[in-house]
Amino acid sequence: MPHPRLIFHIDVNSAFLSWESVYRLKEDPTTLDLRTIPSAVGGDASSRHGIVLAKSTPAKKYGISTAETLVSACRKCPELVVVPSRFELYQEYSGKLIALLEQYTPDIEKFSIDEAFLDMTQTIHLFGEPAAVADRIRRQVEDTLGFTVNIGIAPNKLLAKMASDFEKPNRTHTLFADEIPGKMWPLPLRELFFVGSAAAGKMERIGLHTIGDIAACDLSVLKAHLGDKYGTLIHQYANGIDDEPVEERNPINKGYGNSITLPRDISDYDTARQILLALSETVGARLREDQVRCNCISVELKDWQFGTQSHQLTLEVSTDSTSRIYQSACRLLDEFWDLTPVRLIGLRTSRISDDTFEQMSLFDNEQNRRMQSLEKCVDSIRGKYGIDSIKRASFLNEDAIVDHAVSKNKHRKDNR
């Protein structure tokens, strides 16, 4: 008889801040542990610009929340210690965590930089009872790596993830079928995985307020308000139904880039910006297609004498948005181009991360979220009806030096 599925979800507690603290303590054991004081990771520590990427437990007591501006956070807590983020360092600690988890099962899905699913179905008998094994993993992570994790145990990925979000930090929680009515259904509906603010608002307007309300709601009602596909999915999730396997994701490319050699040399910002928009269209679409985000953008110029120069910037928040990529590229262009005639313009994104890393992508304001939804809608239309089925008005001008899709067949994934 096949074993019943057993899934663990591992979630690092205050990942960025924990990893930053561990690193600083390793470098100087006498330094103050950031986790014990009001502190936050994110933005520019000197100017207090940017947003909160992670905060300590003491910072939470001041009402500081992830995604709010540092200016707002510092108003709430003037003594808040702010440190800049170091993404490469966090990737290193994430890799160490995965290497440790591989001792327990080969079936691991890295869900984000600080989360992973383990399918323990075939290996749990080697280690003991599920809760005891999870506690062993937590102790091992803390003893060997210096930070803590929450672990959710359940028969599927959805319930395991929900369980790991219960009381924190450094806890083990279970969420099996018979525990759903008592542990999950009383929770506010916004705590159900995959329920965004827009969907939550629609459901609340028809009298649904808890996950249990969704579970008990007539499916036809949910479909009418949320659409067939999403309504069905949310109804299944509310009832603890999820058959998605734990599986390794495709390797993430190191970078996505695109460039174009122009039919004539150009020496004005307006034309150059339009070319950057065309390049941003294809690069952004590729990022969204592969479900990844970039954290670094660079612009390359080759002038009429074949001299090459480039300039790059690191984003505070990773993105897959065409608009953000374009805005950043224009900023770079303004900073380093002296209007020397150019014959080639290139755009490259790097420091790629999985876009399921929502801790970073949730920092968008409402306008940015709407733009992201619009861009994904455009991707869908182009995928169904062709690349030319929808284009920006700025490319309708017959005098435009490039078409909106001129580089579509030239885009490349940079795996260097």
Q: Which residues pair with 116 in a beta bridge?
A: 10, 110
Provide φ and ψ at 290, rounded to 5°.
Answer: -90, 0
Catalytic residue among 20, 109, 115, 375: 115
Do 283 and 256 form a contact (C-beta atoms < 8 A)?
Answer: yes
Residue 57 token pair: 């437990």
CA separation for the pair 404, 126 (Å, rounded) = 57
Do 405 and 387 form a contact (C-beta atoms < 8 A)?
Answer: yes
Residue 43, Ramachandran bin (φ over 0: left; ψ between -120 and 50: alpha; else beta): left
CA separation for the pair 88, 376 (Å, rounded) = 28
Q: How many CA atoms lie within 13 A of 103 on its CB side?
A: 12
115 is a catalytic site residue: yes
CA separation for the pair 259, 411 (Å, rounded) = 7
Helix, strand, coil percentages for the chain (3-state, nearest 5)? 45, 20, 35
The residues annotated with a catalytic role in the active site are 115
